[in-house]
Structure 1
Amino acid sequence: MTEQRRVATWRDGAVTAVPAEQPVVTAFDLGLARGDGVFESVAVVDGGTPHLGAHLARLARSADRLALTDPGDGVWRALVATVLADWPAGVEGVCRLLLTRGLGQGAPPTALALLAPVPAEVLRQRSAGISVVTLGLGVPADFREQAPWLLGGAKTLSYAVNMAAQRHAHDLGADDVVLTSLEGQLLEGPTSTVVWAAGGALHTPPQETGILPGTTQARLFAAAERDGWPTRVRPGTVDDLHAADAVWLLSGVRGAAPVHTIDGVRRGDAGLSGRVRELLAR
């Protein structure tokens, strides 16, 4: 519903709340015309954003990779505070921060905050788990690290391929995707980080493959290490996922979604999902 969606803009040095149905960017904005921008999706829990700092740090890194002018943490925090004003504490939300190149040619960037309730399907996947298919991204695992123009590790607005991969998964009757490299190494999901449990440890692919550094994965691994659960950053394959004790796709809003089916093959989680949720709740 419209009254549950909120928007705030940054213009001429001022942060302003605007009606959700009101246009806020020109048709000539390069974020719209070319996907030239970056974004973050921040979980809103109990009326606040407990993990905002990690997302702002990643947003700044993404902006730097695109040579975008970042208005700074102060502006972003003001935008978040504006859309969060009087937000019901019992409504879980997702706050999206968008930064585009604006009109370019020396014009200031466009900075927006959007707030809406978390979709019911996201909540369902978090609790019931998901089925995934594995799809090739078509690049060698080490290529994006050597090709900065491919923007590996940046969370950009150019998400057409990510969304096409998810639509293809839906056409196949699955919920989501695990992307792999040309030689079969695990990369990431279109909107998530891959984590699996095996040999008494948690594992995730290395960032040198050009994947986006996961803020939720980083929180989970830090909490797991404190709890005595070893963690490993290492290359993996689809066979590793099939052999694992448990597999999750992690993201800031969905949290840890247990993977119960991979390429049509059912699997369990060895009772580990509860522990993962508990660690992320700390």
Structure 2
Amino acid sequence: MTLPFTLLITPLAADAPDDGSWFAGTFTEVDASEPALRVSELSTQRGDGVFETLAVVNGHAQEVQPHLARLARSAEICDLPAPNLAQWSAAVSTAVQAIPDHGELAIKLVLSRGVENGPSPTAWLHASAARDFGPVRQSGVRVVTLDRGYDRGVAERAPWLLLGAKTLSYAVNMAALREAHRRGADDTIFVSSDGYVMEGPTSSVIIRHGDMFSTPAPSGAILHGTTQTSLFEYLERHGHAVSYRDISVEELRNADAAWLVSSVRLAVAITELDGAQVPVDAPLTQLFTEYLLSPRD
């Protein structure tokens, strides 16, 4: 099987009995170069859906269950039907088994509200070769901070903003990356209007002060990071202290080291913040990369 590889998924109810009979007929492989969605599909018209992107390294799908749990959480926030996680897990396994070992891959899982006025949601899996992030893992990224335009408490006051869900509505995130490029940087970190670190458009933020590693406190305004969570578990196993807390922009500027972490790019060191040099912990960054490339469930 060659890449890219696409499966259309006929979604099962979350409580469908797992008796071994449900698998047949729920996946349909389609030619990734051919049209497969209708023009009335709400994922393309309105971004009305949720997604996850997970890595496959040397034939091993990384952290499938944490990604599926977050998919389910996003679906709940967006009032989408709850996904049948056993079915989605089987779809991932089907894709991994069908694709030869291509080194690093990216699998995107999408659950959309479906065709306008349609009877059911639309779902699919798309696997492709991951970009070569080797150079950026070595060289790091230059980052600018951008005001997200709201304070830390907005998610609780306005849950309809869907800030804790990984939705298909990524126009703002992509606009932020373009703005970073206009400013001569590679990436950005969103900050709240009251001066606290949030997240990157496609990444979580980790900072180090001494032996303490911190990330912004979980809230409805921040997407919980699967890779960040895995790294914190790794750090704790190796005797390091970790903390989930509010982090001011000033603390970010004064960190002993800082990283952006995500499922496919993995951990990249921040080398410059708003034009000022940031200390880089190269040995630890290399350890992070080696760990994140190892098989993780």
Instruction: Select 1:140's aligned residue among 143, 151, 160.
Output: 151
Q: Which segment is superposed worse, 92-101 or 8-17?
A: 8-17
**How far is 1:50 from its partner?**
2.8
Q: Given the alignment, which residue of 97, 104, 125 partners 1:85?
A: 97
C-alpha distance in 1 between matches for 2:290 and 2:105: 20
Question: Partner residue of 2:109?
Answer: 97
Contact 1:62 1:156 survives alignment (8 Å): yes
**Paired residue secondary structure (2:61):** coil
What secondary structure sits across from 1:212 in the alignment? coil
The percent identity for this pair of structures is: 41
Q: Does 1:107 align with 2:119?
A: yes
Q: Aligned letter for 1:184?
A: G
Provide TM-score, normalisation by structure 2: 0.89
TM-score, with structure 1 as normaliser: 0.93
- The one-letter code sitting in structure 2 at the alignment partner of 1:247 is A
Residue 17 (structure 2) aligns with: none
**Equivalent position amino acid for 2:203 in 1:** S
1:197 matched to which residue of 2? 208
| Root-mean-square deviation over aligned CA pairs | 1.8
Note the C-alpha offset of 1:278: 4.4
Alignment partner for residue 33 of structure 1, among 29, 45, 48?
A: 45
For structure 2, which runs of at least 5 residues remain unmatched after alignment? 12-24
1:146-185 matches, cutoff 5 A:
146-185=157-196
Aligned to 1:16, which of 10, 23, 28?
28
Change (3 A) 1:78 1:104: farther
In structure 2, the residue matched to 1:248 is 259
Q: More displaced, 145-154 or 252-261? A: 145-154
Whether the 8 Å contact between 2:2 and 2:99 is mirrored in structure 1 is: no
**Whole-Å Cα distance in 2 between the matches of residues 127 and 119 of structure 1?**
15
Say yes or no: does 1:234 pair with 2:233. no
CA contact under 8 A between 2:61 and 2:96: conserved in structure 1?
no
| Aligned partner (choices 178, 188, 195) of residue 199 of structure 2 | 188
Name the structure 1 match of 2:15.
none
Deviation at 1:222, TM superposition (A): 1.2
Instruction: State yes or no: 1:258 paired with 2:269.
Output: yes
Aligned to 1:217: 228
Match of 1:60 in 2: 72
